[in-house]
Amino acid sequence: MDLSDLIEVPAIMPALKANSKKQLLQLLAERASAITGIPEREIFDTILQRERLGSTGVGNGIAIPHGKLGGVEQISGVFARLETPIDFEALDDQPVDLVFLLLAPEGAGADHLKALSRIARVLRDADTVAKVRGTRDATAIHALLSETQGSKAA
């Protein structure tokens, strides 16, 4: 599974401004709604409910909020590079500046976990992360996230 299968250029926000975790999740839900056609409130409530179980801030300035929704037809994502890092209650207590929102159909099961694993693997690549942090171009970010796939075995 390639990240290019999960995210398209219009789903990338390369210079997002958010002042709080809640505002960030609202902005991600807004973009995800525009892409999936699912009501923004439904997406926001789902990812907020997941965050209440424990932060999806995985460390190194990266968060992977995610959730399963009934109206989602295929696993899809929204990526944001924040202008200014924000507190996300991450595992390492570091502020977050790269966020990959993942939405999956309710019955996705193992595919949802595979997608989360793939995102985590790509965002653990220090070179890729440094390049993503260094650009404000959505097409370039999409290429960086996608090209990491080919050089590493799944």
Place 154 in a pLDDT band, splitting at 50, 70 and 90: very low
Choose the catalytic residue: 66, 81, 112, 142.
66
Does the pLDDT at position 54 exceed 60?
yes
pLDDT tens digits, one per residue of 85-136: 999 999 999 999 999 999 999 989 899 999 999 999 999 999 999 999 999 9
Does the pLDDT at position 14 exceed 50?
yes
Residue 52's pLDDT is 95
pTM of the model: 0.93
Q: Is 112 a catalytic residue?
A: no
pLDDT tens digits, one per residue of 2-13: 888 899 999 999
Residue ranges covered by each domain of the chain: 3-151
3-151 maps to which CATH number?
3.40.930.10
Closest C-alpha to 58, from 97, 10, 15: 97
Q: Which residues contact 116 (CB under 8 A, 6 or more apart)?
A: 64, 66, 102
CA atoms within 13 A on the CB side of 17: 0
Q: Which residues contact 134 (CB under 8 A, 6 or more apart)?
A: none
Q: What is the mean pLDDT of residues 19-30?
A: 97
Closest C-alpha to 70, from 104, 40, 45: 104
Q: What is the mean pLDDT of residues 26-45?
A: 96
In single-letter form, the type of residue at position 41 comes to: R
